[in-house]
Amino acid sequence: MANSQSLPLCEKTPLKINTLQRAQEIAILFLFICLLVYRLLSLTDHGFVWLLAFLCESWFTFNWVLTLIIQWTPVEYKTYPQNLLQQVPELPAVDMFVTTADAELEPPIITVNTVLSLLAVDYPSHKLACYVSDDGCSPLTLYSLTEASKFAQFWVPFCKKYNIQVRPPFRYFSGNSKLPSDNPVGFLQEWTKMKDEYQKLCQKIEVAVQNLATLDFSGDYVDFADRRNHPTIIKVLSLSVFERLSFQSLIGIKFAQVIWENKERLSNNGVPHLVYVAREKRSDQSHHHKAGAMNVLTRVSGVMTNAPFMLNVDCDMYANNSKIVLHAMCLLLGFKHEKEGAFVQCPQMFYDTLKDDPFGNQLVLPLKTSWPGFAGMQGPLYAGTGCFQRRKVIYGFSLIDSEGNLRDVALDKERFGNSTELIESATHTSSEKIDHPHDLSSAVEAANQVAGSSYEHSTLWGTKVGWVYGSVTEDILTGMKIHARGWKSILCMPDPPGFMGSAPSSSHVMLTQRKRWVTGLLEILFSKNNPIFATLYAKLEFRQCLAYTTVLIWGLNSIPDLCYTILPAYCIITNSHFLPKVKEPALIFFVAVFLMKILYTLRFYLGFGLSIKQWWNHVRMGPSGKIPYVTASLFGVVTLAFKLLGISEVAFEVTQKDQYSSSSDDQEDDVNAGRFTFDESPIFVPATTLLFVHFTALAMGLFGMQPPAHGADGAGLGEMMCCVWVVLCFWPFLKGLFGKGKYGIPMPTIFKSAALALLFMHFCGRIPLPLRR
Active site residues: 135, 475
**Measured over all CA atoms, what is the biggest interatomic distance in the chain, rounded to whole angstroms?**
95
Burial 224-250 (b: 16+ CB within 10 A, else e): beebeebbbbbbbbbbeeeebeebbee
How far is CA 484 from each of CA 70, 323, 378, 477, 545, rounded to the nearest angstrom? 18, 31, 10, 10, 9
Residue type at 25?
E
Orientation angle between helical segments 747-766 and 685-702, nearest 10 degrees: 50
Q: What is the full DSSP assignment across 88-153?
A: -SSPPPEEEEEEE--TTTS-HHHHHHHHHHHHTSSS-GGGEEEEEEETT--HHHHHHHHHHHHHHH
For the chain, state the CA radius of gyration. Answer: 28
Q: What whole-number distance in Å separates Cα of residue 633 and Cα of residue 389?
A: 30
Closest CA to 518 of 624, 404, 418: 624
* Strands 343-345 and 489-491, sheet pairing: parallel
Contact 271, 156 (CB under 8 A): yes
Cα atoms in the Cβ-side hemisphere of radius 13 Å centred on 173:
22
Contact 91, 268 (CB under 8 A): no
Q: What whole-number distance in Å separates Cα of residue 165 and Cα of residue 499?
A: 13
Contact 501, 314 (CB under 8 A): yes
Q: What whole-number distance in Å separates Cα of residue 455 and Cα of residue 279?
A: 11
- Which alpha helices (DSSP H) does 575-655 contain, by range? 587-607, 612-621, 626-628, 634-644
